[in-house]
Amino acid sequence: MSGTTSARMEEDPLPCGMTGKRVLIVYAHQEPKSMNGSLKDAAVMELGNQGCQVTVSDLYAMNFEPRATKKDFEGPLNNSNFFNYGVEAHTAYKKGFLSSDVVEEQKKVREADLIIFQFPLYWFSVPAIMKGWMDRVLCQGFAFDFPECFDRGFLQNKLALISFTTGGDAELYSKTGLSGDIKYILWPLQHGVLHFCGFKVLAPQISFAPEYTSEEKRKEMVASWASRLETIWKEKPINCTPSWYFE
């Protein structure tokens, strides 16, 4: 599939006994040579070297559809007189007629032990193309139900991590900076999306202001990410409660 790549490198012995761990990287950047592209490439390389099976969903290359519409349902609507996207997605998931692009992504999620979201921060959040991936792929019945959400969410045996670049520097995203503590903007993504689905959330990887720094510093940021990934399977999830974000 265009925009989807897999890397598997078998070595013997495998580091950390991590044979067969599977990683999905949901990646949203238009430019392969960008900092986000480099961070994605570094993850593919490092995790591949560990013997992990790595899949990349390159959303722009796939021209991934962000809009939640009737086109997502390849069977009869539950209620064609009153369109409720969430209800229809739930129904279509159970009956097996979600559109094939959504089904493909759900298959990748189901198979993954760890999902990494790699993106540039757009307006204190993910770019719309990645928001659309969340809106469409993580539907009721697949990622959660009621009361199967938060700690009981269906994806509770998986790890997730957001890795992103910012325009502003760390000072700007501090408690006294104009943009406020960077943790404030993690809440909707980490708690509202990932924790809601049950994911155990690993600490975010934040690469501050790569556009405004030297090539050497950018390389250090990429190397730091690769280095962290060497021991990623030993990391403990964060405690995804309000105190982590707001105190």
**Residue number, 13 or 147, with CB nearest to a second copy:** 147
Q: Are strands 53-58 and 4-8 parallel, antiparallel or unpaired?
A: antiparallel
- The interface region with a second copy, picked from 7-15, 117-125, 154-162, 198-206 by CB under 8 A, is 117-125
Does the protein bind a second copy through residue 188 (CB under 8 A)? yes
Asked if residue 236 binds a second copy (CB under 8 A), the reply is: no
* CB 58, min distance to a second copy, A: 13
- Out of 134, 139, 159, 209, name the contact with a second copy by CB under 8 A: 134
125 contacts a second copy (rule: CB under 8 A): yes
Cβ distance to a second copy smaller for residue 54 or 73:
73
Distances (CA, A) of 204 to 159, 185, 225, 233: 12, 11, 11, 14
**Shortest distance (Å) from residue 8 CB to a second copy:** 29
Q: How far is CA 5 from the centre of its chain?
A: 16
Neighbours of 234 (CB within 10 A): 8
DSSP assignment string, 194-239 = IGGGTPEEPPPEEE--GGGS-HHHHHHHHHHHHHHHHTGGGPPPP-
The stretch among 1-9, 40-48, 62-70, 217-225 that binds a second copy (CB under 8 A) is: 62-70
CB contact at 8 A, 140 and 93: yes
Question: According to CB under 8 A, which residues from 86 to 115 bind a second copy?
Answer: 86
The reply to whether 76 sits near a second copy by the rule CB under 8 A is no
Residue from 211, 217, 223, 227 touching a second copy (CB under 8 A): that is 211
Residue 132 binds a second copy (CB under 8 A): yes
CA nearest to 194, candidates 182, 205, 186, 206: 186
**Which span (7-15, 31-39, 91-99, 227-235) binds a second copy, by CB under 8 A?**
31-39
Q: How many helices (H) and strands (E) does the chain have?
A: 7, 7
Distances (CA, A) of 160 to 72, 104, 116, 210: 25, 19, 6, 23
Query: Is 94 within 8 Å of 141 (Cβ atoms)?
Result: yes
Residue with tokens 């198979």: 111
Residues that bind a second copy (CB under 8 A): 30-31, 33-34, 60, 63-64, 66-70, 81-86, 122-129, 131-132, 134-136, 138, 149-150, 167, 175, 178-181, 184-185, 187-189, 191-193, 196, 211, 242, 245-246
